[in-house]
């Protein structure tokens, strides 16, 4: 008789997913790894895990393809193979018990769910400052982890690596994720409206520069985590990126790596609101 499955529900970005396994050790591993993101909400989706023999995390590229006939996604890498059907919300995963493989599967699943809902995962650190979320994106070495290390004590870290973004009534909301980068520390499980996205560059001084919409979309698309070989979903993501650029201020933040850069971030909202108010006043009456 097969061993009974045990379930842990992990809720990231307000989307509860039930993860089930027969393996007690793996259940404990995922409970520890996603501590802070465990939820008692009814799951929207379910993934059954079946473990293979222990092995290393694969360096292979992941392949994410839609099987149109069966209406399911096939997600494959050297260390895991998953199937997930959006229509039923159910899927199964064969992987070894490596936690990094587990992280990868969850990230990919969330990227697919989000793409359909107008959200996305962004290669960016994010944090809440004075009730508003700020995103810090850029290539490896640009300063994402540095920004989180320099954050003052009153800043709430959402992630130092993978930001989770969903559309909201007034723009976009950022959510904390357990997906950690160099900092090796999961984010807080909370959310805030996005105030700005900064593309980072290290320099000799702190400076905030405007970006053209085209440059902003280009940089955004380059840093969105998207794995699926699917034209329709790629087009939807492009539309989402354009919408995000239209609704969220996006700037280049050149920074000298010391704590003063956070003054620049704190002042951004105040300066931005002042500028918007000034532009509003400058619109001629009959324009």
Partner 1 sequence: MPENCIYIARSSAIAARALAGEMMVMNSADSTFFTLNEVATAIFQAADGHTPLREIVRDKICRQFDVDPVQAQADAEQFVTELSSHGILLVSNRPLASEAPQ
Interacting residue ranges for partner 1, rule: CB under 8 A? 212-214, 217-218, 221, 231, 234-235, 238-239, 242, 245-246
Residue placing its CB nearer to partner 1 in the complex, 212 or 267: 212
CB neighbours of residue 13 within 10 Å: 22
Minimum distance from residue 68 beta carbon to partner 1 (Å): 16
Residue placing its CB nearer to partner 1 in the complex, 247 or 260: 247
> For the chain, how long is the longest CA-to-CA vector?
79
Residue placing its CB nearer to partner 1 in the complex, 150 or 242: 242
Minimum distance from residue 34 beta carbon to partner 1 (Å): 31
- Selection from 61, 117, 106, 104 nearest residue 229 by Cα: 61
Q: How many residues does the chain have?
A: 287
Residue placing its CB nearer to partner 1 in the complex, 47 or 241: 241
Residue placing its CB nearer to partner 1 in the complex, 67 or 213: 213
CB neighbours of residue 10 within 10 Å: 23
Please answer whether residues 158 and 135 qualify as being in contact, where contact means their C-beta atoms are separated by less than 8 angstroms.
no
Please answer whether residues 48 and 91 qualify as being in contact, where contact means their C-beta atoms are separated by less than 8 angstroms.
yes
Residue placing its CB nearer to partner 1 in the complex, 142 or 216: 216
Minimum distance from residue 246 beta carbon to partner 1 (Å): 6
Residue placing its CB nearer to partner 1 in the complex, 70 or 235: 235
End-to-end alpha carbon distance in the chain: 76
Minimum distance from residue 240 beta carbon to partner 1 (Å): 10
| Pairing outcome for strands 191-202 and 132-137 | parallel
Minimum distance from residue 224 beta carbon to partner 1 (Å): 10
CA dist., res. 84 & res. 2, Å (int)? 22
Main-chain dihedrals φ then ψ at residue 195, nearest 5 degrees: -95, -40
Minimum distance from residue 242 beta carbon to partner 1 (Å): 4
Minimum distance from residue 215 beta carbon to partner 1 (Å): 8
Measured in whole angstroms, how far is the alpha carbon of residue 262 from the centre of its chain?
Answer: 22
From the number of C-beta atoms within 10 Å of its C-beta (0-12, 13-18, 19+), residue 55 rates as middle
């Amino acid at each position: 008789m097969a061993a009974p499955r045990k379930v842990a529900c992990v809720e990231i970005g307000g989307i509860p997913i039930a993860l089930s396994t027969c393996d007690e050790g793996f259940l404990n591993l995922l409970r520890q790894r996603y501590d802070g993101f465990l939820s008692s909400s009814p799951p929207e989706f379910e993934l059954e895990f079946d473990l293979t023999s222990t092995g290393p995390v694969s360096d292979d590229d992941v392949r994410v393809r839609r099987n149109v006939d069966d209406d399911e996604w096939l997600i494959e890498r050297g260390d895991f193979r998953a199937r997930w059907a959006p229509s039923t919300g159910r899927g199964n995963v064969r992987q070894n018990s490596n936690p990094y493989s587990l992280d990868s599967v969850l990230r990919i699943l969330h990227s697919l769910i989000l793409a359909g809902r107008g959200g996305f995962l962004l290669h960016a650190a994010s944090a809440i400052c004075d009730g508003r979320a700020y995103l810090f994106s850029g290539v490896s070495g640009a300063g994402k982890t540095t920004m989180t290390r320099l954050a003052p004590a009153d800043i709430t870290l959402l992630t130092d690596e993978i930001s989770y973004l969903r559309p909201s009534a007034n723009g976009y909301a950022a959510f904390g994720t357990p997906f950690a980068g160099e900092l090796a520390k999961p984010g807080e499980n909370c959310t805030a409206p996005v105030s700005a996205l900064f593309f980072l560059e290290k320099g000799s001084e702190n400076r905030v520069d405007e970006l053209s919409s085209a440059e902003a979309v280009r940089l955004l698309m380059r840093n969105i985590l998207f794995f699926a070989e699917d034209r329709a979903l790629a087009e939807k993501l492009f539309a989402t990126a354009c919408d995000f650029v239209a609704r969220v201020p996006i700037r280049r933040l050149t920074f000298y790596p010391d704590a003063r850069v956070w003054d620049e971030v704190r002042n951004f909202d105040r300066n931005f609101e002042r500028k918007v108010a000034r532009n509003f006043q400058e619109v001629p009456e009959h324009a």
